[in-house]
């Protein structure tokens, strides 16, 4: 398993930093974003450290994407949003601030939900 000892998400996976877990399997971890842009804002990450989509192996991406609908449907049933954004930033110039690949799921509740 590849880890970066200085990476905040690797620390979350190891349990060194607390997080609110929504889903976990051998290769994927999903948890609430610490700074929720809307209620239920979730991050989905591979357990291995890959900086961005350019480093992400296809088999890791394939498994990660295979569990996204399950997590999205969990949020849908729990929160009954009107829609959901799925966002992934790669590189500082694209808005990435944590350099461990992650997908944002952002439930949307209509006008005034605070995002976009």
Binding stretches for ligand 5GP (CB under 6 A):
8, 17, 19, 31-35, 43, 89, 95-98
The nearest distance, CB 115 to ligand 5GP, in angstroms, is: 11
User: Which among 41, 49, 100, 102 is annotated as catalytic?
Assistant: 102
Binding flag, residue 12, Zn ion (CB under 5 A): no
Give the integer Cα–Cα distance in Å for 49 and 69.
22
User: Buried b vs exposed e over 37-73: b needs ≥16 C-beta within 10 Å?
Assistant: bbbbbbbbbbbbbbbbeeebeeebeeebeebbeebbe
104 catalytic per annotation = no
Q: How far is CA 3 from the centre of its chain?
A: 17
Binding at 34: pick from Zn ion, ligand 5GP, none (beta carbon under 5-8 Å per type): ligand 5GP
For the bound state, the minimum distance from the C-beta of residue 13 to Zn ion, rounded and expressed in Å, comes to: 7
Which residues carry out catalysis?
102
């Amino acid at each position: 398993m590849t880890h970066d000892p200085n990476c905040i998400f690797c620390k979350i996976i190891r349990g060194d930093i607390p997080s609110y877990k929504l889903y976990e399997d051998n290769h994927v971890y999903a948890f609430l974003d610490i700074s929720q842009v809307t209620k239920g804002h979730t991050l989905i990450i591979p357990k291995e450290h890959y900086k961005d989509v350019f480093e992400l192996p296809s088999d890791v991406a394939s498994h990660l994407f295979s569990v996204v609908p399950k997590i999205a449907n969990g949020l849908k049933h729990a929160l009954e949003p009107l829609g959901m954004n799925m966002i992934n930033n790669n590189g500082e110039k694209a808005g990435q601030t944590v350099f461990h690949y992650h997908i944002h799921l952002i439930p949307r509740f209509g006008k005034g939900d605070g995002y976009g």
